[in-house]
Copies of this chain bind each other. A is one copy, B any other.
């Protein structure tokens, strides 16, 4: 039949959405140069290959905190000679630099194991609501530390919101609105449908909103990468979402004598802990919220969201470690 062809879709139940946290990309004890990032991502790629060998089709997202921070520092240091770059364009820049790195390391690792699959990094834009309450409460610190004078200068010249971090140190703060729509979702879906591994939603996505003239425009904000990953996983009807991070388990009473690791809990139990303020706002809370939403919205009764250490990915998939949030 000319002008048309069949696509045979890979099994939707094999889809596995994986979010790579900062430590999957730069080791905490290293400075994090590009060579070190490639070395770290190569290790992470081996771990991801373990999942591919188990038959999973991966869709990979990633954070970009240190990388976007370094771009912002470079922009700042070059400010007297070169034009500044808006935050959302810096986020965009990291998507390709890091997407390229992740795709390359993963392809090389697969190649060594005689696994064959195309890997594509997609530049991902994420729509937020222009009236998201987060815009009234900028609280996500980004970029380098600033002196009082630098902070004031940016406030006046660039309209930045800055926060006094104590000790004469200030930082820029930006809103962290909720992701509403992944604009490149049709492209991501199409590539996943034909069996590709897709790297996308880097840094939570490039944040955009509709302005008063109806145009889509970038906004100076940072979207939580775990929340965007959750939205992606729901759209893809994936049965499993794994958030890889620097801890082995989510815990309650974290850091206290009665600290307890969570192994398998229902969405309702997770919500109870959440409401009791058990999870840190900037780190574990969005992961748990994402996990709860994911298992509740999934079309799969046995949907599972896993929070695990990047080095224990395969074990976590086998149910040997990590925190598993299930529907009930």
Q: Mark A68-84, 1 if CB is under 8 A from B, else 0.
A: 00110111011001111
A214 partner residues in chain B, CB cutoff 8 A: 111
A interface: dominant SS = mixed
**By CB atoms of chain B within 10 A, which of A120, A215, A218 has the most?**
A120
Q: Mark A81-114, 1 if CB is under 8 A from B, else 0.
A: 1111110110011111101110110011001000
Are B81 and A78 in contact, with the CB atoms below 8 A? no
**A121 vs B5: C-alpha distance when bound (angstroms):** 24
Q: Given A83-B33, A96-B93, A186-B118, is A104 in contact with B6 using a C-beta cutoff of 8 Å? A: no
Q: Mark A193-225, 1 if CB is under 8 A from B, else 0.
A: 010100000000010100000111110000000
A165 sits at the interface (CB 8 A): no
Q: Nearest-CB distance from A152 to chain B (Å)?
A: 22
A191 sits at the interface (CB 8 A): yes
Q: Mark A6-22, 1 if CB is under 8 A from B, else 0.
A: 11110100000000000
A132 sits at the interface (CB 8 A): no
A136 sits at the interface (CB 8 A): no
**A8 vs B5: C-alpha distance when bound (angstroms):** 7
Q: Given A9-B3, A123-B121, is A34 in contact with B83 using a C-beta cutoff of 8 Å? A: yes
A125 sits at the interface (CB 8 A): yes
**A96 vs B32: C-alpha distance when bound (angstroms):** 21
A31 sits at the interface (CB 8 A): yes
Q: How many copies does the complex hold?
A: 2
Q: Nearest-CB distance from A93 to chain B (Å)?
A: 4
Chain A contacts with B in 18-75, Cβ cutoff 8 A:
31-34, 70-71, 73-75
Specify the chain B residue showing the minimal Cβ separation from A107: B216
A155 sits at the interface (CB 8 A): no
Are A218 and B104 in contact, with the CB atoms below 8 A? yes
**A97 vs B93: C-alpha distance when bound (angstroms):** 5
Q: Given A3-B8, A7-B4, is A82 in contact with B70 using a C-beta cutoff of 8 Å? A: yes
Checking B34, B84, B88 against A85 with a beta-carbon cut-off of 8 angstroms, the contacting residue is B34
A86 partner residues in chain B, CB cutoff 8 A: 34
Are B96 and A125 in contact, with the CB atoms below 8 A? no
Chain A contacts with B in 182-197, Cβ cutoff 8 A:
184, 186-187, 190-191, 194, 196
A89 partner residues in chain B, CB cutoff 8 A: 34, 97, 100-101
A215 partner residues in chain B, CB cutoff 8 A: 108, 111
**A74 vs B70: C-alpha distance when bound (angstroms):** 11
A310 sits at the interface (CB 8 A): no
A291 sits at the interface (CB 8 A): no
**A69 vs B183: C-alpha distance when bound (angstroms):** 29
Additional A-B contact list (20), CB under 8 Å, known A94-B96, A95-B96, A190-B191: A3-B8, A5-B7, A7-B7, A34-B84, A71-B93, A74-B78, A77-B82, A78-B78, A88-B100, A89-B97, A93-B96, A96-B97, A96-B99, A96-B123, A100-B123, A100-B218, A103-B123, A104-B125, A104-B216, A122-B122
Closest 7 CB pairs of A and B: A96-B96, A121-B123, A120-B187, A33-B83, A93-B93, A92-B100, A74-B74
